[in-house]
Amino acid sequence: MGAVTLPCHRQRPYFRRFRKSTALVKSTKVLSLSLATIAVVAVLTGAVTSQAPRKMTLQERFTPRKGAAAEGPVQFFSMPGGKSAVNNNTPTRAREALTGFDNLTNGYFEQGPDFDTITEDNVEPLRSFNDGRFIFEEVETAEDGLGPTYNAQSCSACHQNVVTGGASQIAEHRTGHTFNGQFFESAGGSLIQSRATFPDIVEHVLPEDSTRTFRMSTSTVGEGYAECVSDSTLLAIRDAQPPDMQGTAPEVAVLEGDGSPGVGRFGWKCQHRSLLSFASDAYLNEMGITSPLFPDENTSQGQFVGFGTAYDPLPEPEDDGIDAQAFVNFMRSTKAPPRGPITPDAYFGEKKFNQIGCNICHVSSIVTAAAGTPINGGAFIVPDTLGSRTIHPYSDFLLHDIGTGDGIPIEPTPEFAATASQIRTAPLWGFRTRNRLMHDGLSFTADESIQRHAGQAANARDAFNALGDFQKTQIFDFLNSL
């Protein structure tokens, strides 16, 4: 691509210099300033003040500085052909991650007061799993900063099935246009906000924005474990994959860290490495609520509608960072999706799944970094409850071109251009809870999803199609046990 100038640059969201937050505490909420809270706020404000000597454009903020840190030694992962990295942490020595669709903590944060007793008046956002869950489910209104453009009123509106934090049938749309192989976002960003607090600022898709996709709401449960997988382990998984199936590990900015990038793993494009960066992004882009890491209000198709206009009564940031941290504490405390009953057919189905190479991308077992390992550019230290745990995500958390790319890169910049044709290997844990499949939700059955696997997954799909009906059914039984 070379040094392409970006004529759409002026259309990107307007970013002002971050002003240090004047403790804008929701009056209805009593905040417990525990030591942890102070530390969190110190990290947030420290990172933000040191990284904003002048106004940074969104593009600069998302251009990683420095190199990625290894985040400790490579840990075990399963890979066909004996290529698994073992080091000194075999799955037998690592403990299994906790699993369950039960709204109970994995131990990272304490369970807290009975969920049904928590109200807007007594919630202490950073106190416990149940408080974090309350904030994650809390329905926001314009008085809380919702909008002016947004997609839904709470995180759980899109992340709820079958427990808070799970996936859902809600799809959002992303659009733009592609000219000479270069993607240009729709005015105001590729993510379309489908709701607004005023009728004249609802975003619409322009006819010329012909690069379009739906993106399904993914699951966030168990993602505290995924966050604690070291970058070095994801890179080792990539390196163990055969050349024609090798994944891409995009280096993305960790907005709360020391400036070093990390290996993206969250979202259909692996667009974030840290849950705090993702949660802050979502708070702004799904709900229209600004916070320290995303301090500038969204536009309506490029038109500024933030504080100072008739559309937005609240100064930025609308959340002082407490809510964003509460979402993260909650997500980090969720258990991983549990398996359903493993029947003999499901058991043999997994064997077939492995034999035909599905598990080269849909990696069944990965061990998280050891407790004490600094990750996220030093902003998070792997805690004992999430460290050295074996997870079974059935994903490599890497991007692949299997012919389903939606044409929209992580960022419309040359270094991310290749990501336009790639999608993250869909983690298959929790598969039995989803009925609209693939990133766009346009596949209705497992078989239809498999038939869309081409490109880097063409061999695996062909091997699947060469199986007899009985073996195919066993693979479906296996998938439906996830």
Handedness of CA 265, 267, 269, 273 (dihedral sign): negative
The answer to whether the CB of 389 falls within 8 A of the CB of 426 is: no
Q: Which of 193, 177, 175, 188 is nearest to 13 (CA)?
A: 188
159: contact with ligand HEC by CB under 6 A = yes
446: contact with ligand HEC by CB under 6 A = yes
464: contact with ligand HEC by CB under 6 A = yes
Site size toward ligand HEC, by CB under 6 A? 57
Provide the minimum distance between the beta carbon of 443 and ligand HEC in the complex, in angstroms, as a whole number: 7
Q: Which of 311, 426, 429, 474 binds ligand HEC (CB under 6 A)?
A: 426
| Cα 23 from Cα 3, distance rounded (Å) | 42
Number of other CB atoms surrounding residue 17 within 10 Å: 11
Binding segment for ligand HEC (CB under 6 A), chosen from 93-101, 370-378, 379-387, 424-432, is 424-432
155: contact with ligand HEC by CB under 6 A = yes
| Cα 448 from Cα 438, distance rounded (Å) | 10
89 versus 263: smaller Cβ distance to ligand HEC: 263
Q: Which of 18, 109, 266, 294 binds ligand HEC (CB under 6 A)?
A: 266
89 versus 146: smaller Cβ distance to ligand HEC: 146
Residues 200-239 that bind ligand HEC (CB under 6 A): 215-218, 220, 223
Binding segment for ligand HEC (CB under 6 A), chosen from 125-133, 157-165, 181-189, 466-474, is 157-165
386: contact with ligand HEC by CB under 6 A = no
340: contact with ligand HEC by CB under 6 A = no
Q: Which of 370, 372, 391 is nearest to 75 (CA)?
A: 370
Q: Which amino acid is present at 442?
A: L
The answer to whether the CB of 305 falls within 8 A of the CB of 297 is: yes
- Alpha carbon 307 to its chain's center: 28
- Alpha carbon 64 to its chain's center: 18
The mark string for 58-97 relative to ligand HEC (x by CB under 6 A, - otherwise) is: ----------------------------------------
Binding segment for ligand HEC (CB under 6 A), chosen from 51-59, 292-300, 365-373, 429-437, is 429-437
Number of other CB atoms surrounding residue 27 within 10 Å: 6
Q: Which of 273, 310, 314, 258 is nearest to 290 (CA)?
A: 314
293: contact with ligand HEC by CB under 6 A = no
Provide the minimum distance between the beta carbon of 63 and ligand HEC in the complex, in angstroms, as a whole number: 20
Residues 345-364 that bind ligand HEC (CB under 6 A): 353, 356-358, 360-362
Burial per residue of 363-394, b for 16 or more beta-carbon CB atoms within 10 angstroms, e otherwise: bbbbbbbbeebbbbbbbbebeebbbbbbbbbb
423: contact with ligand HEC by CB under 6 A = yes
Q: Which of 101, 129, 268, 429 binds ligand HEC (CB under 6 A)?
A: 268
479: contact with ligand HEC by CB under 6 A = yes
Provide the minimum distance between the beta carbon of 267 and ligand HEC in the complex, in angstroms, as a whole number: 3
89 versus 474: smaller Cβ distance to ligand HEC: 474
* Residues that bind ligand HEC in the complex, under the rule CB under 6 A: 151-152, 155, 157-159, 170, 172, 215-218, 220, 223, 245, 266-269, 275, 278-279, 282-283, 286-287, 327, 353, 356-358, 360-362, 400, 402, 404, 423, 425-426, 428, 431, 434, 437-439, 446, 449-450, 453, 456-457, 460-461, 464, 475, 479
